[in-house]
Amino acid sequence: MAIAALGAAGCGGSDDTSTPTTAPTTTSAPPAATTAPSSGNGDTAAGKQIFTANCSGCHTLADANATGTVGPNLDQLKPDQQRVATQVTNGGGVMPAFAGQLSDTQIQDVAAYVAAATGG
């Protein structure tokens, strides 16, 4: 019964018929690390060329005849496209970030290629 009375007290009860104004609110997320391009797109033929020029010196990938040993063997790792895009964008460990050197499209292309070539 007390709950019903509180509910009724909160509804109406005032002769003020003006529409309340609310200031617009904006929410912004804190700055995040550079995000990788979204997965699902990419030109694998262009990606193979980008891989050969930028990645084959460090990574092993049979499809590209790459035998690098500094980075992981991608044939064994079998990364998916999003994982490749994130790693290429941000780098990590001894791998440099390529966000400033490759465009988002190039990153997506190489990610699509690696994922397709490895079955990731």
Q: What is the pLDDT of residues 3-50, one digit of tens each?
A: 343 333 343 444 445 444 544 444 444 334 444 444 468 999 999 999
In a domain, 6, yes or no: no
In a domain, 73, yes or no: yes
Q: Any long-range contacts for 88-95 (C-beta under 8 Å, 24+ apart)?
A: 88/36, 89/34, 89/35, 89/36, 89/37, 90/33, 90/34, 90/36, 94/70, 95/58, 95/71
Domain count, the chain: 1
Q: What is the DSSP letter of 61?
A: E
In a domain, 13, yes or no: no
Q: What is the DSSP letter of 60?
A: E
Domain that holds residue 72: 38-120
pTM equals 0.68
In a domain, 24, yes or no: no
In a domain, 11, yes or no: no
Q: What is the CATH number of the domain that holds 82?
A: 1.10.760.10
In a domain, 61, yes or no: yes
Q: What is the pLDDT of residues 48-102, one digit of tens each?
A: 999 999 999 999 999 999 999 999 999 999 999 999 999 999 999 999 999 999 9
